[in-house]
Structure 1
Amino acid sequence: MAELLDEGPFFHGTMAKLNVGDLLTAGHRSNYRPEIVMNHIYFTALVDGAGLAAELAAVDGEPHVYLIEPTGDFDNDPNVTDKKFPGNPTRSYRSTEPLRIVAEVHDWPRLSPDALRQWRERLAAIDDKSEIIN
């Protein structure tokens, strides 16, 4: 068993409407770059980060944040860890193993329309210049 990276709790943000007990799995298209099929499922220990991920997803729907439980080993997300930020200040992780939905979180902070527009512009600029480590 790998060294425990974080004790959580852990969260996943998405546009998908899910139920307690559902499993999130790798092998689906990226929420941000649909042309890429992801080898990992991503999550964070920061509810704000999961909310941001849900709101930035490039698919239609209502954003949801879920309290999740990893079912196996996980690693630091190399897309933000050390590549863009020293260490793991975003407490972002990825796994090839499923994530189990424990509960939906309803009291996460939402972005204003202007803040959401600014984040989407930043993401589009980054996507033009960098690759996702998959």
Structure 2
Amino acid sequence: MKRTLFLSTAFVLAMPAYAQSTAPIFAQQLVDKALAAHPELTVLALHVTPPAAADNIIIASNIGRIGKKADDDDLSVLNTGKPRIEMTKSGDLSVEVPMHDHGGQTIGVVGETFRYHAGDDKSKTVELAEQVRDELASQTPSLAKLFERAK
């Protein structure tokens, strides 16, 4: 009986620590909020180089792939500051734009995919991608904040 009580107590005390350690990072919270606010988005991924890391990786997304290294296309957007647009295999429009913090510093790349229909104005989709990026920036005080556990 004492052993069961001890194990039960240990389990209850450990639960908050476990829940806290598995909470998503702030970046994932930003992705989730942006997707809820923009139903026209089908994919949203944040490509960032974590502090003290060498590689730019996906740190938050709605399609998994967390930790996937940036490819040459992602790095081109990061290095040039110019958006990249392409049609996906499913016929949607993928747009990558530089990601900024609240102060305007480039801290990564925002990869976004939007539903696309023949005849849609691609420049309007790029504007929408930049709007989503700017909304994310307004909520991102710093690179380090992206890696804090969400509350």
Normalising TM by the smaller chain, what interval?
under 0.3
TM-score (norm 1): 0.27
Task: Compare CA radii of gyration and give the structure with the larger one.
Answer: 2
Q: Which has the higher contact order (CA 8 A, sep 6+)?
A: 1
Structure 1 or 2: more helix by fraction: 2
